């Protein structure tokens, strides 16, 4: 067992009274005061998250774009400089090693952000796929911290952070799933307009040494704008409402992208890519759906989804009482025959059958 | 405000306030904090009897589910409808408005439970 790791912001979290939990080998803030209050703040004003546990890789070289077309499921060569794209790292058998966001920093220069718990597997796969290609892949995770500011007030808050200068694109022109460059205390800062909450917001990639100062500056900028520090508990209910998958729950090595509703991420007509020819799910393979129930009693991950007569036809991957909607929601893998909602479905909540309705994802969509 | 020194405590983080032949039961601030925001509480019907150590209900937070263990033998005489309607009372006032049930008890029902000092020592263990 290796020792738990902490991000550069550990002392900040402790000073704010955070409770910590293990996540992917990292000790991360699960909540500061109230996970519900933190959730609601992100929907109504803004929240700030330390997501420095996430892994970052640089992909640089004249063959970088072609390499990514081969190494990932999408066609990253078609991504414009300045934009970001959600993608998947597949295994040869079409299973999912991780889901990632790719940022095109230049013609021959990309950044990949992956999940903390998959850092070693991602690095290993990315390096193995460089053979014979003009590309250099580097794991730069330890050099950077990542701070997310999410919510309707995020732009106003980030724009007011003292010490951010040299912004490449005016705030109002920065689009979702794009990035701008800037400096913080004279060092490069990446302003990525991405997130994992279903709200507008930014993910700020900053030198690890400057993370604490940037965190303080962001909290100061947000003091009059409803910004609260938010932990992983809120992050999880926010992403669940937004219908966003979490690796290890909706995504794993045994599941093909189309089963998780991510068939669109795979560009099958590319000449060659890892997983090509293996991405079609087996006949009858379970598919991911959204389920909504009444009352306040939530189905949880690993609870069974059953029919009226108790036959197990699926399993919940994530579930909670939705703080925003006020009723239970869940994502679940179910037999394809029942995915259309034609058969009454129930959540088996510790022996009690709770009626559930098949619901299109996401459960929550922000107003533009 | 309840004087916490007058309560008895179980190692499973329930508290008991004895008043003659009845007792009020809740969960401690330590347990409420560990659970996070409580969003659902299931309590037994009035008239239900249980023994110390039995599961008498459940408390769910956004992140977890926790069973409630009876700290004493007893029969339910009243449940806190306010906490069923608004489970956040367990977080905001665990020793007052966030009480869970009242039970009838026999003499000596709290024998063997922890006093405040022993409970605090238990949580710091």
Ordered by start, the domain boundaries in chain A are 10-51+142-241, 62-134, 282-368
Q: Give the one of B36, B40, B58 whose C-beta lies nearest to A35's C-beta.
A: B36
Q: Which CATH number fits domain A10-51+142-241: 3.40.190.10, 3.40.50.720, 3.40.50.150, 3.30.1360.120?
A: 3.30.1360.120
* A62-134 is classed CATH 3.30.70.1400: yes
Overall fold of domain B4-107: OB fold (Dihydrolipoamide Acetyltransferase, E2P) (2.40.50)
Verify whether the Cβ–Cβ distance B37 to A298 is below 8 Å: no
Between CA A19 and CA B64 the distance in angstroms is 15
Residue B64: predicted pLDDT: 86
Q: Which of A322, A323, A345 is nearest to A333 (CA)?
A: A345
Residue A200: predicted pLDDT: 97
Task: Give me the residues of A, 213-252, that contact B with CB < 8 A.
Answer: 233, 236-237
Nearest CA in chain B to A323: B62
Alpha carbon distances (Å) from A101 to A16, A25, A79, A83: 30, 21, 12, 10
Residue B105: predicted pLDDT: 96
Mean pLDDT of the B9-19 span:
96
Is ipTM > 0.85 here?
no
Residue A2: predicted pLDDT: 60
| CATH superfamily, domain at A282-368 | Aminomethyltransferase beta-barrel domains (2.40.30.110)
Dihedral, CA of residue A152, residue A158, residue A161 and residue A166, to nearest 10: -150
Contact residues, chain B, for A350 at CB < 8 Å: 58, 65
Instruction: Output the DSSP codes for A29-68.
Output: EEESS-HHHHHHHHHHSEEEEE-TTSEEEEEESTTHHHHH
Mean pLDDT for all residues in chain B: 95
Residue B63: predicted pLDDT: 81
Task: Give me the residues of B, 101-120, that contact A with CB < 8 A.
Answer: none
The contacts of residue B2 (CB under 8 Å, 6+ apart) are: B17, B95, B96
What residue ranges of chain A have pLDDT lower than 50?
1
Verify whether the Cβ–Cβ distance A36 to B33 is below 8 Å: no
Verify whether the Cβ–Cβ distance A297 to B63 is below 8 Å: no
A vs B: CB pairs below 8 A = 43
Express each pLDDT in B60-96 by its tens digit: 998 889 999 999 999 999 999 999 999 999 999 999 9
Residue A6: predicted pLDDT: 97
pTM exceeds cut of 0.95: no
Residue A3: predicted pLDDT: 74
Verify whether the Cβ–Cβ distance A35 to B62 is below 8 Å: yes
Q: Which of A260, A271, A342, A353 is nearest to A308 (CA)?
A: A353
Residue B2: predicted pLDDT: 83
Q: Is A114 exposed, middle or buried (0-12, 13-18, 19+ CB in 10 A)?
A: buried
Which residue out of B62, B86, B91 would a mutagenesis test of the A interface target, given it has the greatest number of A Cβ atoms within 10 Å?
B62
Nearest CA in chain A to B92: A34
Q: Give the one of B33, B40, B88 whose C-beta lies nearest to A321's C-beta.
A: B40
Residue B125: predicted pLDDT: 73
CA distance B112 to chain A (A): 31
Dihedral, CA of residue A23, residue A27, residue A33 and residue A35, to nearest 10: -10
CA distance B65 to chain A (A): 9
Q: Give the one of A233, A297, A300 whose C-beta lies nearest to B36's C-beta.
A: A233
Q: B45 by DSSP, 3-state: which?
A: coil
Between CA A215 and CA B4 the distance in angstroms is 39
Contact residues, chain A, for B90 at CB < 8 Å: none
Contact residues, chain B, for A323 at CB < 8 Å: 62
């Amino acid at each position: 067992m290796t020792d738990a790791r902490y991000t550069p912001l550990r002392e900040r979290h402790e000073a704010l009274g955070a409770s910590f939990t293990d996540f992917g080998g990292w000790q991360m803030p699960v909540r500061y005061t109230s996970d519900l209050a933190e959730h609601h703040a992100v929907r109504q004003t803004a929240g700030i998250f330390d997501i420095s546990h996430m892994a970052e890789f640089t992909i640089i070289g004249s063959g970088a774009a072609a390499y990514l077309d081969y190494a990932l499921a999408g066609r990253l060569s078609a991504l414009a400089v300045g934009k970001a794209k959600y993608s998947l790292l597949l295994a040869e058998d079409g299973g999912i090693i991780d889901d990632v966001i790719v940022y095109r920093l230049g013609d021959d220069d990309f950044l990949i952000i992956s999940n903390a718990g998959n850092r070693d597997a991602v690095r290993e796969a990315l390096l193995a796929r460089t053979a014979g290609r003009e590309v250099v892949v580097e794991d730069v995770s330890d050099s950077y911290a990542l701070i997310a500011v999410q919510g309707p007030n995020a732009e106003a808050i980030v724009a007011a952070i003292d010490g951010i200068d040299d912004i490449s694109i005016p705030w109002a022109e920065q689009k979702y799933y794009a990035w701008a460059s800037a400096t913080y205390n004279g060092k490069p800062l990446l302003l990525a307009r991405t997130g994992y909450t279903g709200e507008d917001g930014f993910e700020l990639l900053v030198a690890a040494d400057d993370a604490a100062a940037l965190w303080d500056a962001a909290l100061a900028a947000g003091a009059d704008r409803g910004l609260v520090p938010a932990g992983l508990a809120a992050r999880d209910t926010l992403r669940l409402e937004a219908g966003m998958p979490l690796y290890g729950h909706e995504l794993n090595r045994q599941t093909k992208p189309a089963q998780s509703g991510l068939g669109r991420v795979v560009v099958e007509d590319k000449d060659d890519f890892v997983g090509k020819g293996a991405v079609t799910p087996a006949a009858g393979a379970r598919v991911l759906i959204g389920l909504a129930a009444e009352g306040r009693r939530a189905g949880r991950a690993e609870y069974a989804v059953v029919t009226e007569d108790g036959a197990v036809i699926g399993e919940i991957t994530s579930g909670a009482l939705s703080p925003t909607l006020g009723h239970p929601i869940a994502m679940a893998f179910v037999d394809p025959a029942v995915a259309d909602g034609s058969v009454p479905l129930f959540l088996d909540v510790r022996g009690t059958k709770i009626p559930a309705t098949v619901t299109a994802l996401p459960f929550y969509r922000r107003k533009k | 405000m309840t004087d916490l020194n007058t309560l008895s405590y179980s190692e499973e983080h329930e508290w008991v306030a004895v008043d003659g032949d009845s007792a009020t039961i809740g969960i401690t601030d330590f347990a409420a904090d560990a659970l996070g925001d409580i969003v659902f509480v299931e309590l037994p019907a009035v008239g239900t009897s249980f023994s110390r150590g039995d599961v008498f209900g459940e408390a769910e937070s956004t992140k977890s589910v926790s069973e409630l263990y009876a700290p004493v033998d007893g029969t339910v005489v009243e449940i806190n409808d306010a906490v069923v309607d608004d489970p956040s009372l367990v977080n905001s006032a665990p020793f007052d408005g966030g009480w869970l049930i009242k039970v009838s008890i026999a003499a000596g029902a709290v024998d063997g439970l922890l006093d405040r000092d022993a409970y605090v020592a238990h949580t710091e263990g």
